[in-house]
Chain A
Amino acid sequence: MAQEPILSARGLVKRYGRVTALDNADFDLYPGEILAVIGDNGAGKSSMIKAISGAITPDEGEIRLEGRPVTFRSPIEARKAGIETVYQNLALSPALSIADNMFLGREIRKPGIMGSVLRKLDRGAMEKFARDKLSELGLMTIQNINQAVETLSGGQRQGVAVARAAAFGSKVIILDEPTAALGVKESRRVLELILDVRRRGIPIVLISHNMPHVFEVADRIHIHRLGRRLTVINPKDYTMSDAVAFMTGAKAPSEAVAA
């Protein structure tokens, strides 16, 4: 590929005591693509994703965002750099409203003295923005932007979390198992959301165990095995059983395929 990767990692190492979770792992994400990351349980894909989203700091290795080396000490720093992550547990506060959740940690204050001295939140602006973002992603079944997140269904909550990431993620969006807890219909909505976000030009990293979903939406598939990148395949050239064979070690990839 002629393009420069927007987000890349080289030689990441992370050890937990005597366990090596990441063993010289590499990672590349190109602009505008959906990169799926698959791997067996314990292959180290979560550790790698946590390293690039700032939740853990790798012991060795280098992460580059748009060619510049970066080090994230917390998810907040990664977020400031433009990398938004939707965690498996969604990181939503159940008792707060949809609008409050979308703006948690980056609230908009009223202009003028009300905002600067009395630090009053601009509820109107936040609600409008939240409503716009949710309808942009086709989540208009939510009627009241002020209802508590805990009164939403699982799929709607997922939608709010994805909408939050899509609204603020300027460079990269990472989705960790976005369809794991959802029904067939709700999964479909989330997959459409993912494609919708890509259409707007933001690259996505998708971690999933669901092979049909991965093969449906991914442009490239990063297969993680034993703490490192085994290979990257194009879903058009391989079958799901090939991918499963690679990630479980039943079959070795013929050559180092770089899509």
Chain B
Amino acid sequence: MSETTTASQPPQGSQPPQGSQPAQEFEKVLTGSSTQVASFDTHDKTPIQKFQHFLHGSPSAVPLIVLVISVAVFGVLLGGKFFSAFTLTLILQQVAITGIVGAAQTLVILTAGIDLSVGAIMVLTSVVMGQFTFRYGLPPSLAVLCGFACGALCGYINGILVARMKLPPFIVTLGMWQIVLASNFLYSANETIRSQDISAQAPLLQLFGENLRLGNAVLTYGVVAMVLLVAVLWYVLNHTAWGRHVYAVGDDPDAAELAGVNVKRMLVSIYTLSGLICALAGWTLIGRIGSVSPTAGQFANIESITAVVIGGISLFGGRGSILGMLFGALIVGVFSLGLRLVGTDPQWTYLLIGVLIISAVAIDQWIRKVAG
């Protein structure tokens, strides 16, 4: 076959064969084949398939739907008690910390990593802000900056270990969690700075506890900070090159590297930014609880992962929207406050959140099948 085919070749270089003239013997039959090329058959899709495609395109739709339904259900069950400006803004206040830490967690999980140290970094930075003011007498503004530097440093170390030493993020941040938490207790000597002292001497530390009142609605600066942070990160992730690279690194790091993304530098910058955001959470934490306590915020890392997972962000990286994380955090907030108002055993909250987590991951797997 090779002899004849080569002999019948048109002269190369001068006249390349056109698509309509098959050059290979076995391709001659192609002229008789269907000329339809990869048509996008949007018509004969079932409603379920259309829904699947819609969810594939807008990953934060599922948590938004769940959020709206849960608000509606609790509204019907509880009436005005739930649907008051006070209750709804109370939910926002309760999820502010989770939302901010969740934003840091989102960045890391989008790179197919996980950050177990976010809660510990948050507490350590709040302790640094408090102790630098009260133990060393630094001006509160400088102490806050030191807190941010400390958060960034912790994140930077995580990033270096993950990107340069190529250690699994789970292990790095598991170790970092213990190290940071222990440093926190050693440094603070397990000592709490009282709320009265802070408001008397360094009110700046409690900045995020201040609030705006609009009728019955109470919005703390912490809530405003969370909403602004999520909005800014949404812009960065969707409309800047850095944000697109976050997704590319999480999706397929090898492909991203070959396509010209500096994967190592991206990872280090993502973990560092995550540490910085945790420091913001630490500052907000002082505002929320009033005092600086080394034992506060014990569950922040688990809560942030819960918000991210319920928010439909894939733990395998590269998929999901930070808005989903915010909806996820709000779903948890709505469930815990709603069930408390209904008057059930609080264990039902945990049970239902557990169900939500597993369903969210199951839905994520189903949406992914749109590709296959």
Pair A219/B27 contact, Cβ less than 8 Å: no
Q: In the complex, A153 Cα to B22 Cα: how many Å?
A: 22
Q: In the complex, A236 Cα to B259 Cα: how many Å?
A: 36
Which of A92, A96, A239 is in CB contact (< 8 Å) with B6? Answer: A239
Pair B255/A89 contact, Cβ less than 8 Å: yes
Q: In the complex, A185 Cα to B32 Cα: how many Å?
A: 12
User: Which B residues lie within 8 Å of A105 (CB)?
Assistant: 245, 259-261
Smallest CB–CB gap between A211 and chain B, Å?
Answer: 7
Pair A96/B9 contact, Cβ less than 8 Å: no
Q: In the complex, A120 Cα to B260 Cα: how many Å?
A: 19
Q: In the complex, A156 Cα to B318 Cα: how many Å?
A: 21
Pair B252/A93 contact, Cβ less than 8 Å: yes
Pair A87/B258 contact, Cβ less than 8 Å: yes
Which of B9, B23, B241, B254 is in CB contact (< 8 Å) with A107? Answer: B241
Segment among B12-20, B77-85, B126-134, B195-203 that sits at the interface with chain A: B12-20
Pair B241/A119 contact, Cβ less than 8 Å: yes
Smallest CB–CB gap between B351 and chain A, Å?
Answer: 33
Pair B258/A216 contact, Cβ less than 8 Å: no
Q: In the complex, A136 Cα to B2 Cα: how many Å?
A: 33
User: Which A residues lie within 8 Å of B5 (CB)?
Assistant: 212, 215, 240
Segment among B33-41, B139-147, B221-229 that sits at the interface with chain A: B33-41
Q: Is A249 interfacial (CB 8 A cutoff)?
A: no
Pair A94/B12 contact, Cβ less than 8 Å: no
Q: Contacts A199-B16, A240-B2 hold; do A93 and B251 have CB atoms under 8 A apart?
A: yes
Pair A151/B370 contact, Cβ less than 8 Å: yes
Pair B254/A236 contact, Cβ less than 8 Å: no
Pair A185/B240 contact, Cβ less than 8 Å: no
Pair B244/A100 contact, Cβ less than 8 Å: yes
Pair B17/A216 contact, Cβ less than 8 Å: yes
Q: Is B288 interfacial (CB 8 A cutoff)?
A: no
Pair B260/A106 contact, Cβ less than 8 Å: yes
Q: Is A95 interfacial (CB 8 A cutoff)?
A: yes
Pair A121/B38 contact, Cβ less than 8 Å: no
Quick one: CB contact mask for B252-274 with A, threshold 8 Å, 1 for yes?
10111111111000000000000
Pair B241/A121 contact, Cβ less than 8 Å: yes
User: Which B residues lie within 8 Å of A93 (CB)?
Assistant: 247-248, 251-252, 255-256, 259, 318
Pair A239/B261 contact, Cβ less than 8 Å: no
Pair A90/B38 contact, Cβ less than 8 Å: no
Listed by A's residue number, 21 A-B pairs whose Cβ atoms lie within 8 Å are A92-B252, A93-B248, A93-B259, A94-B251, A95-B251, A100-B248, A104-B244, A107-B241, A120-B239, A121-B240, A151-B370, A198-B16, A212-B2, A212-B24, A215-B2, A215-B6, A216-B24, A217-B12, A219-B12, A235-B12, A241-B2
Task: Identify 18 new A-B residue pairs, CB closer than 8 A, beyond the known A75-B257, A91-B259, A92-B255.
Answer: A55-B258, A87-B258, A104-B245, A104-B259, A105-B259, A107-B241, A107-B244, A118-B240, A119-B240, A119-B241, A119-B242, A188-B30, A189-B19, A192-B19, A217-B12, A219-B13, A235-B6, A239-B6
Q: Chain B residues in contact with chain A, CB under 8 A?
A: 2-3, 5-6, 9, 11-13, 16-19, 22-24, 26-27, 30, 33, 37-40, 56, 235, 239-242, 244-245, 247-248, 251-252, 254-262, 318-319, 370-371
